Structure 1
C-alpha cells in the first residue's frame, strides 16, 4: 500500500514479555504467520496475514516490562513537525522522533487525556500492507474519560474533519481525513473500572467473530464484551493472555441501520 494521508492509522505493534506465546495466540486467533526477528532492532518481528505485513510483536525494552498493550501509529510526512505540534497542543512526547534504518522514523506520544499513540513517517516500510482483510487491522477507537481534550488535540495535530454520532446514549465521534473515516472516539462510561486509563482499541478483521472468540478464550484470552451484531459488523472485545486489549470484527455480518451523524 502507498504512504497513507497524514493522520491515517498506518501501523500497529505491541511489546510482549512472552513473544513466542503472543505468536502462538495471534497465530491461532487471527491466522498470522511471522517473519524473522531483527536483532539489530530489538528482535522486532513482523506478523503477516495471507503474506501481507499487518502488525509486529517485540520483547519489552529494559525497564518497560509490564502489561502488554497494542500501540497504533498515525502517518506523518514529517515526524519532527508532528512532535512539535504534539507539544504545542498540550501533548507529551514520550520518545523523540527516531530514525529506524531506512524503514522510517517513529515517535511515541501521549495526548492530554492519557492515550498513548505512535507517529510513523514511512520510508521503505510504508505501514500496513493490507487493511480490512481477514487477520488485518480494520478500525480503531480512542477510549477516553475526557473527550473534549482528546477531540481538541487530535483535530489540532492531524488534519481531521469531525463528525458526531447523534445517538444520545453514547458520546461517539468520528474523524475523517482525505474524505475517509479513519478513527473513532468513545467516551468511557462508569462501566470501565477507574484504574483503566485512556487507550486506543484496535479491531482486527475476521471471517467469523464467534469462532475467533472461541479460539481466543480456549487459548487463555478473556472475553470483555460481545459478540454483538451492529450496523458496522459483528464484533467482540477481548484481552489476550498477556493483558493486551483488542477487538475482532466480521464486517460482513451486519444488523440494524447506520446511525445518523452530524458535522462538528
Structure 2
C-alpha cells in the first residue's frame, strides 16, 4: 500500500491494561481478528485485522501510570525533521523517534496544550490497509481549549489547508493535506473547541473514530460488553450518525455511521 502524505492519519493503536480482554472486546465489537506474529518482538504489539486487512493495533501497558487511550499517528517521511518542526512551533516531543525494526519509525508528540498524537515514518508497515469502511478508522479530531494556540501549531507543522464548519454553535475546523483544495471532500481530521458542556477537568485530547454499519447497535454492544456510552447516538448532518464510547478498560473512542 502506498505511503500516506505527511499529516494524513495513517495508524491508530490502543494501550490497554489487559491485552487479551481488549482482543475479546474489539474482536466482538468490530469483528476484528488478531495476529501477534513478529510484533511480539516489540512488546506484544498486536495488529488487528478486518477481512484480512490491518486496521489498528492493541498493546499492553508497560506501566500502570500510562493512560488507557487510543492514539492516532500522522504519516511523515522524516520523523526527526518533523519533531524539530513540532518543537519550533511550540509543541513538545513525548517520545523521541524510535526505530521499530523494519516496520518503520515512531514518535509521540504533544501540541501546545498537551494533546498527544503519534508520528509514523513507514518502512515495511505503511499504515492502514483498510479504512473508511465498517470496523476501520474513519476520522480523528483534537479537542482544545485555546484555538489561538492550537490552530497555528497544526497548520504550521503539517501545512494543512483549513475549512471552518458553517455552524454558529460548534466551533470546528477541518484539516486538508498540504497541496489539496481545502474542504470537506479532502479533510482528514479536524479541531473542535471544548465548551461548557464538557467537564472542566477534561484535558485537551484526540478522539479516534471508527466507521460502523449501525451506530445504535454498536453503542448497545459496547454496553453489553462492559463499556459505557458517554454521548448517546445522534445525527451529525450531513455526515451520518455518531456516538462517543468507552471500552471495558477505559479507552475512549467514537463511531460514525455513514449517511
Q: TM-score range by the shorter chain?
A: over 0.9
Q: Distance in 2 between matches of 1:75 and 1:175?
A: 14
Is 1:250 paired with 2:251?
Answer: no
Residues 45-87 of structure 1 deviation map (CA, whole Å, 9 limit, x = unaligned): 00011111010001112x3545410010000010000000011
Q: Distance in 1 between matches of 2:61 and 2:144?
A: 25
CA contact (8 A) 2:95 2:109 kept: yes
CA contact (8 A) 2:245 2:252 kept: yes
Is 1:220 paired with 2:246?
Answer: no
CA contact (8 A) 1:11 1:128 kept: yes
Partner of 2:133: 133
Match of 2:206, SS state, is: strand
CA contact (8 A) 2:44 2:60 kept: yes
Is 1:165 paired with 2:173?
Answer: no
The offset of 1:156, in angstroms, is 0.7
Q: Distance in 1 between matches of 2:35 and 2:47?
A: 6
Is 1:199 paired with 2:200?
Answer: no
Q: How many residues align?
A: 251
Unaligned runs of 5+ in 2: 181-185
The offset of 1:39, in angstroms, is 2.8
CA contact (8 A) 1:67 1:243 kept: no
Moved over 3 A (4+): 63-67
Partner of 1:40: 41
Match of 1:181, SS state, is: coil
Is 1:184 paired with 2:185?
Answer: no
The offset of 1:116, in angstroms, is 0.1
Q: Distance in 2 between matches of 1:243 and 1:117?
A: 18
The offset of 1:226, in angstroms, is 2.3
Q: Distance in 1 between matches of 2:25 and 2:42?
A: 23
Q: Distance in 1 between matches of 2:102 and 2:79?
A: 14
Q: Distance in 2 between matches of 1:45 and 1:39?
A: 7
Q: Distance in 2 between matches of 1:66 and 1:31?
A: 27
Residues 106-151 of structure 1 deviation map (CA, whole Å, 9 limit, x = unaligned): 1101100121000000010000111111100001111111222111
Residues 150-203 of structure 1 deviation map (CA, whole Å, 9 limit, x = unaligned): 111101110210111121111100000142211111101111112211111111
TM-score of the superposition, structure 2-length normalised? 0.94
* Cα RMSD, aligned residues only: 1.2
Residues 204-262 of structure 1 deviation map (CA, whole Å, 9 limit, x = unaligned): 011111111111111111111121122101111101111111011111x3xxxxxxxxx
